[in-house]
Amino acid sequence: MGETALDAAIVGIGTSRFGHGLPESQLKLAAIAFKNALADAGLERADVDGLSIHLGWPLGPDYDRVAEAFGLDIRYVNQSWLHGRFITNALQHAALAVSAGLADVVACVTAVSFTRERGFLGGPGDVEGNREEGGTHGEAPPYGLTAPAGGAAIAMQRYMHVYGATSAQLAAVPIAMRKHAVKNPAAIMRKPLTLEAHQASRMVVDPLRLYDCCLISDGAAVVLIARGERARDLKQKPVRIAGMQGTRAGREEFIFALRGLGINQQSVTRTAARAIDTEVFAKAAVTHADVHGFYTYDAFSPLVLFALERFGYCGPGEAAAFVQDGRIELGGALPVNTSGGLLSEAHVAGWNSICEMVRQLRGTAGATQIPGAQVLHWGTPWGDAVMLTCT
């Protein structure tokens, strides 16, 4: 169990279909995913007594409406804003709740209808771009940064300047994600992507081109968490939450940039990954060599590079070269986001990748299966992480 008293496992997963302009409401998409998760786990809705909601304001209903709609009788609730940086937070709260006996089975619920809510991401009435203090992705309307891509673009500009990385090197990330999506029947983008197509695509925010930016899509995912003893009695092979570490914040942190790139209030002193950046490995009692696949929030291509460096898979400035030659593709040394991620499968706030990790550890991922997968790492550039293992 590592050095924590954590006793939690993923016992069920479910998704809705993914697509653009889906007719179902956000709540209906969530209900579809919830039913599928119950069937996957062999549970009834009466067994679920906790909710960890990752779909609240400004893009979804609150926990009480979800409980009412699903017909649940809940004794534990956690709710967070629908941002990629709260994926791990929602999962961790569920794990801690069942470990502490606050609930027996917690449903982590997310659903997005981005194509219905374009005002959230750059359309009329944009919530992100019009924050008075500037948004958390680096949106700053007085300087013309009115979309989430702005912060990631500035960080990548600095990274390219310091380390000599190129757009062609960055293209290896969306090309790998697309290769995975081509093998995934649930993915939205299934046409192969070439380097030539990437380089010819329009610039969104320099240096990010169209294929460096995630999909805007609709869909839902539900992940069910229970204690280990309960998990062993259920339908599916449990996937243990072996270790986790929290989100980092402070003047040296910006969610879409590595520490030391000088973005926002950061200094410009880069160092290799520190023990505090990689404590999840010790908590899970594993090493980098034990990890069979890495999963991250790939809203923009540079985030994959930044996450690989944050967790010590490569040193400062080395990730652009690290991702070349198929190293992060299926069959490579460290496959990344094997279902296609946000760049090619769907933008379900990253929970589609959590579901893929569970399939991998069950050995049921089909054409995207990593042979012998036993340890998988979810981690983001802003420092939060979960290590999942076979029980």
40-64 pLDDT tens trace: 999 999 999 999 998 755 567 788 9
Residue 139 forms part of a structural domain: no
Average pLDDT over the chain reads 90
Residue 140 forms part of a structural domain: no
Q: For residue 279, what are its two tokens?
A: 């404590």
Pick the closest to residue 242 from 57, 58, 385, 107 (CA basis): 385
State the pLDDT at residue 3.
45
- Whether the predicted pLDDT of 266 surpasses 80: yes
Pick the closest to residue 336 from 181, 198, 226 (CA basis): 181
Highest mean pLDDT among 86-90, 124-128, 251-255, 382-386: 382-386
* pLDDT classification of 299: cutoffs 50, 70, 90: very high
Residue 251 forms part of a structural domain: yes
Could you tell me the CATH number of the domain that includes residue 210?
3.40.47.10
State the pLDDT at residue 114.
80
Residue 271 forms part of a structural domain: yes
Residue 136 forms part of a structural domain: no
- Whether the predicted pLDDT of 2 surpasses 50: no
Q: Are the CB atoms for 184 and 348 separated by under 8 Å?
A: no
- Whether the predicted pLDDT of 254 surpasses 60: yes
Q: Cβ neighbours of residue 133 under 8 Å, at least 6 residues apart?
A: none
Name the residue with higher pLDDT: 143 or 333: 333
Q: For residue 248, what are its two tokens?
A: 């980092």
* pLDDT classification of 148: cutoffs 50, 70, 90: confident
State the pLDDT at residue 265.
85
Residue 1 forms part of a structural domain: no
CA distance 360 to 83: 25
Residue 55 forms part of a structural domain: yes
Q: How many domains is the chain built from? A: 1
Residue 256 forms part of a structural domain: yes
Domain housing 29: 9-129+147-390
Q: For residue 51, what are its two tokens?
A: 């909710």
Inter-helix orientation angle 149-163/301-310, to 10°:
60
